[in-house]
Amino acid sequence: MLHVDHTALILVDYQGKLARVMDRNEDLLDAMVRLVKGVQLLNIPIIWLEQYPKGLGPTAPEVKELLKGEDPIAKMDFSACQHEDFQAKMKELNKKSYLVAGIEAHICVYQTVKELLEEDYYVEYVHDAISSRTAANKEVAVDKMNLLGAFPTSVEMALFELMGTAEHPAFKDISKLIQ
């Protein structure tokens, strides 16, 4: 189960050029914006990644504007776990569990989740905040991540699980995000 003090969000390669060609890209954008805003309201750290930004461009502007004051980790490896800056950020944050969201589900999301699990982290992928260019590729990624021991969640489910109570100070603001 997710706990606000032990969790960070890994935002995988939600870059403009690629984001526009994802299956159900408008729903994905909506989910991504709600997720980022929600974890920010809960003061949950975000590890922000970009895959080969020179070729794929920067993070989608609707999400990038929410991450002002932060810098993305540019990577070439499909799994973020292969990158020294990512490893250093994980060590700095010292979290036990990770929410993973982004694109593409069957490549960078899957490979990152797989390696996090191999390192004995608790991992939940945000089903409505991951996608691939085809629904079939997302489905294969979901099946494989489940078999490896990752747990599916949704933006709404994760945010309410992290709050744990309607008495949480962010409850009203998060409830507004979900509506």
For the stretch 116-158, pLDDT in tens is: 999 999 999 999 999 999 999 999 999 999 999 999 999 999 9
* Whole-Å CA distances, 113 to 9, 26, 160: 12, 24, 22
What confidence score (pLDDT) does residue 16 get? 87
Q: How confident is the model at residue 107 (pLDDT cuts 50, 70, 90)?
A: very high
The domains found in the chain, sorted by start residue, are 4-178 (3.40.50.850)
What confidence score (pLDDT) does residue 179 get? 82
Q: For residue range 3-50, what is the model confidence (pLDDT) as tens digits? A: 999 999 999 999 988 999 999 999 999 999 999 999 999 999 999 999
Structure tokens at 50: 């970009």
On whether the pTM is more than 0.95, the answer is yes
How far, in Å, CA of 75 to CA of 73, rounded? 6
In the chain, DSSP assigns E strands to 7-12, 46-51, 73-75, 97-103, 122-131, 151-153
Residue with tokens 């489910």: 157
